[in-house]
Amino acid sequence: MSQTTALTDTGSAPADLGASEPVLAVENFALTFSANAPANLIDGISFTVERGKTLCIVGESGCGKSVTSLALMGLLSSPPARILSGTARFEGRDLFSLPEREKVNLRGNGMAMIFQEPMTSLNPAFTVGHQIAEGITRHRGLPKAEARREALRMLEWVRIPAAAKRLDAYPHQLSGGMRQRVMIAMALANRPRLLIADEPTTALDVTIQAQILDLIRHIQEETGTAVILITHDLGVVAEVADRVAVMYAGHIVEQGSVSEIFANPQHPYTIGLFGSIPSLGRRQGQLATIKGAVPPLDLMPKGCRFAPRCPFADRRCMDEVPPAAELAEGHSVACWYAPIEEKMGTRQ
């Protein structure tokens, strides 16, 4: 049961969701930006997120984390983006085939997104109170005065000191950490059942980062919101994730519970990222740096996209895409040679 006194039911109607059913189930999602692209930018990824749980998506810059999030939110313009296959069932309804009007309605209501840079969401020309209240009015039809009161409650809820005063502040009058809290307040004002947080703390200093993560976790406990958190920080993953999906060049190469991924990584890329093969990567608190670079789409191998950087690659790896195979319950790996321990013995 919700422990919060600050939050009340919005009256929005989540679809009937069985207890064990995921809030979001993405299946075989593929996307391109160019009809003539030699390979798909996002190439057949699948994952799920459950109510009250956090899925962390990790992977090097450019692997398609933001594009995936924006596609789910319906925030990529098409063209140039083109969804080639797949479904993304949010509370049972496929986001990719919803009419635009319903997508707009879901955004900021059923699902919401926060970004690394709060000014992506905040308008410098309006006070933060006005902006939060506007979203509340739009989605819930509350009268202006009531929406303003609700906006104040949201600012208090995200622990903004002197919230009543801040209601009439413009974004530039607030610190980076405060702006991040305002963006979170705006995103959560209509109690979304899914929050996508795309590197929300990367630009903040360590103390503020910890406070923001703590806030997201606290909110999640109170509301049961499912969270997709994209991060480069393994410390953050260890602390907040229930499940982890590791992305490489538009593929999900491994996913599993946070304990499985940390204790028993099986894809060479994951092992490299987490720095446990010294010749592949070195742990630096953040994701390790792996020798080499992601090939451009026109040089992408037909098979495993990690093959050009993988010490275990052979001909089959170059030619055939390894399917995701379940090694243990909920732990799947897309590598022809997983479990990889035997190979590691011979090639380090």
Ligand X SMILES: Nc1ncnc2c1ncn2[C@@H]1O[C@H](COP(=O)(O)OP(=O)(O)O)[C@@H](O)[C@H]1O
For ligand X, the closer CB: 78 or 284? 78
38 interface partner picked from ligand X, Mg ion, ligand SF4, none, CB below 5 to 8 A per type = none
Per DSSP, the three-state class of 262 is: helix
Q: Binds 307, which of ligand SF4, Mg ion, ligand X, none (CB < 5 to 8 A, cut-off by type)?
A: ligand SF4
Q: Say how far apart CA 134 and CA 338 lie, in whole Å.
A: 51
Q: Which stretch binds ligand SF4 (CB under 6 A): 157-165, 220-228, 290-298, 331-339?
A: 331-339
Residue 33 interaction partner, one of Mg ion, ligand SF4, ligand X, none, beta carbon < 5-8 Å per kind: ligand X
Q: Which residue, 101 or 315, is less far from ligand SF4 as judged by CB?
A: 315
Residue 256 near residue 330 (C-beta atoms within 8 A): yes
* Nearest-angstrom CA–CA distance, 307 and 94: 33
The answer to whether the CB of 58 falls within 8 A of the CB of 246 is yes
- 337 lines the binding site for ligand SF4 (CB under 6 A): yes
- Minimum gap (Å) between residue 333 Cβ and ligand SF4: 8
CB 62 within 8 A of CB 297: no
- Output the smallest distance, CB 306 to ligand X, in A: 15
What are residue 26's DSSP bridge partners? 47, 88
Closest CA to 331 of 269, 261, 276: 261
Contact 279, 289 (CB under 8 A): no
Residue 21: φ, ψ to 5°: -80, 135
Three-state secondary-structure class, residue 31: strand
Q: Using CB under 6 A as the criterion, which residues of the chain lie in contact with ligand X when the complex forms?
A: 33, 41, 59, 61-67, 80
Nearer to ligand X, 66 or 180 (CB): 66
Can you tell me which of 268, 272, 275, 281 binds ligand SF4, judged by CB under 6 A? 268
Distance from C-alpha of 206 to C-alpha of 330, rounded to nearest angstrom = 32
Q: Provide the H-helix boundaries in the chain.
A: 65-73, 100-106, 128-140, 144-157, 163-166, 176-188, 206-223, 234-240, 258-263, 268-273, 315-319, 341-347
Task: Determine which residue in the list 151, 236, 241, 335 makes contact with ligand SF4, applying CB under 6 A.
Answer: 335
Size of the site for ligand SF4 (CB under 6 A): 13
Nearer to ligand SF4, 64 or 265 (CB): 265
Identify which of residues 40 and 66 has a Cβ nearer to Mg ion in the complex: 66
Beta carbon nearer to ligand X, 136 or 247: 247
- The residue (of 66 and 209) whose beta carbon lies closer to Mg ion is 66
Closest Cα to residue 3, out of 267, 234, 309, 224?
224
> With contact defined as beta carbons under 8 Å apart, do 204 and 176 qualify?
yes
Among 258, 288, 310, 327, binds ligand SF4 (CB under 6 A): 310
Residue from 199, 306, 331, 332 binding ligand SF4 (CB under 6 A): 306
- Residue 313: contacted member of ligand SF4, ligand X, Mg ion, none (CB under 5 to 8 Å, by partner type): ligand SF4
Nearer CB in complex with ligand X: 59/303? 59
63, interface contact from ligand SF4, Mg ion, ligand X, none, CB < 5-8 Å by kind? ligand X
CB of 304 to ligand SF4, least distance (A): 3
Number of neighbours of residue 293 by Cβ within 10 angstroms:
10
Interface region with ligand SF4, contact rule CB under 6 A, candidates 100-108, 123-131, 213-221, 306-314:
306-314
The letter for the amino acid at 299 is: L
Stretch that binds ligand SF4, among 7-15, 21-29, 192-200, 304-312 (CB under 6 A): 304-312
